[in-house]
Amino acid sequence: MKLVAENMLVEPALSGGAIVRFETLDLKYSPELLHKYEGKKINVEIKEKRGGRSLDANAYCWVLCDKIASTKGLMVKKTEIYKQAIRDYGVTTILPVETDRLPLILRSWDGQGIGNTHDILGPSKIDGYTNVRLYVGSSQYDTYEMSVLIDGIVADAQELGIDTATPDEIARLKAAWGE
């Protein structure tokens, strides 16, 4: 279960640990939920909430990829520019994957979107597993991750002499991403 919470309060517990309380508007009060996890160990992760990327950020990403691809002498599609930008500036993770299931897992991962791709790194220290670097497509990015990607693509475009939005325009776009 994932939810957005606010007003977190942490108090010392008699056990030496802590009691953590928070408010959420994501769920309506539910008697079933009240006791669902009682007496069970659960994993809890607390992260600062960031906004999702905006459609303007996505559109600007594709405009820049198209401009780079259209540069005289480059014979590539904008999707290839985008995929390279994901590799250069995007979100990645390295995972050990069961070697026997590797083709199935990678087909599934790569089929989730244009930016989702992978590199096989080689055998894992875990017997029967192969280490794989998974690249995450920008449709899964938060505002910070999308900002890093856009900054990288802007730098690439500027190196090729391509006009980009001014720093003020880019700052306004980034400010709008968090709204």
Helix, strand, coil percent content, the chain, rounded in steps of 5: 45, 20, 35
SS (HEC) of the chain = CCCCEEEEEEEECCCCCEEEEEEECCCCCCHHHHHHCCCCCCCCCCCCCCCECCHHHHHHHHHHHHHHHHCCCCCCCHHHHHHHHHHHHCEEEEEEEEHHHHHHHHHHHHCCCCCCEEEEEEECCCCCEEEEEEEECHHHCEHHHHHHHHHHHHHHHHHCCCCCCCHHHHHHHHHHHCC
Please classify residue 35 by burial: count the beta carbons closer than 10 Å to its beta carbon, then call 0-12 exposed, 13-18 middle and 19+ buried. Answer: exposed
Domains of the chain (ranges, CATH numbers): 55-177 (1.10.3790)
Looking at residue 75, its pLDDT comes to 75
Query: What is the distance between the terminal CA atoms of the chain, rounded to a whole angstrom?
Result: 25
The one-digit pLDDT tens for each residue of the chain (179 residues) are 666 777 778 888 888 888 888 777 666 655 666 677 778 877 777 776 655 555 577 788 899 999 999 886 667 889 999 999 999 999 999 999 999 999 999 999 988 889 999 999 999 999 999 999 999 999 888 888 988 999 999 999 999 999 887 777 777 766 665 55
Q: What is the reported pTM?
A: 0.64
